[in-house]
């Protein structure tokens, strides 16, 4: 990745944080938005210190593909949460499927710590596309909370 490409992505993540935070705050939930040089993370404050989160990152492969991933990760260990990751992911995808049915480009993986991911193509409106994607994903928060609660009781 060239220095210019790196700087462009860093700036994109900073701009995304600046634009996304007020939109998420308007939901009334306690969202955390964390831009970094090569990654971007969004999560609710009660999601195990960010070990459950939506995330984008950039690698040389992403630059070559001309796209950025947007994924959901459940990286919190069972010892800390009491939640079995597979039970959580299966429950989440079962309840979220009707909502996500029309969402193009998502790859679902219930046995993974990354239950779903999609690639957002580079374009002149990448910032708006990324903001829209994160706003859409934020609507899954109640289902994520519900799946965590149900997976904990299993």
Residue 113, token pair as written in the block: 């710590």
User: In the chain, how many domains are there?
Assistant: 1
| Res 1 pLDDT > 90 | no
Confidence of residue 96 (pLDDT cuts 50, 70, 90): very high
Token reading at 123: 């374009």
> What's the rounded Cα separation, in Å, for the pair 26 and 104?
26
Domain that holds residue 88: 3-153
pLDDT recorded at residue 153: 66
Rounded to the nearest 10°, the torsion over CA 18, 28, 92, 131 is: -20
Q: Token digits for 68?
A: 């950025």
Strands 39-44 and 52-57: antiparallel
Give the pLDDT confidence of 7-33 residue by residue, as tens digits.
999 999 999 999 999 999 999 999 999
CATH number for 81:
3.30.1460
Average pLDDT of span 32-41: 96
Tokens 């009781």 belong to 153
Q: Check: pTM over 0.85? Answer yes or no.
A: yes
Q: CA–CA separation, 4 vs 26, rounded Å?
A: 34
């Amino acid at each position: 990745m060239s220095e210019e490409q790196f700087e462009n992505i860093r700036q994109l993540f900073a701009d995304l944080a600046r634009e996304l935070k007020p939109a998420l705050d308007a939901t009334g939930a306690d969202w955390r938005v964390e831009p970094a040089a090569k990654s971007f993370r969004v999560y609710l404050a009660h999601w195990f210190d960010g070990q459950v989160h939506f995330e984008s990152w950039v690698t040389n492969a992403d630059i070559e593909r001309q796209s950025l991933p947007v994924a959901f990760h459940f990286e919190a260990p069972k010892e800390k949460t009491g939640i079995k990751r597979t039970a959580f992911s299966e429950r989440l995808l079962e309840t979220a499927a009707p909502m996500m049915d029309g969402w193009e480009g998502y790859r679902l993986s219930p046995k993974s710590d990354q239950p779903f991911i999609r690639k957002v193509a580079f374009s002149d409106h990448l910032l708006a596309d990324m903001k829209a994607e994160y706003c859409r994903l934020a609507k899954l928060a109640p289902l994520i909370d519900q799946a965590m609660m149900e997976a904990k009781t299993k």
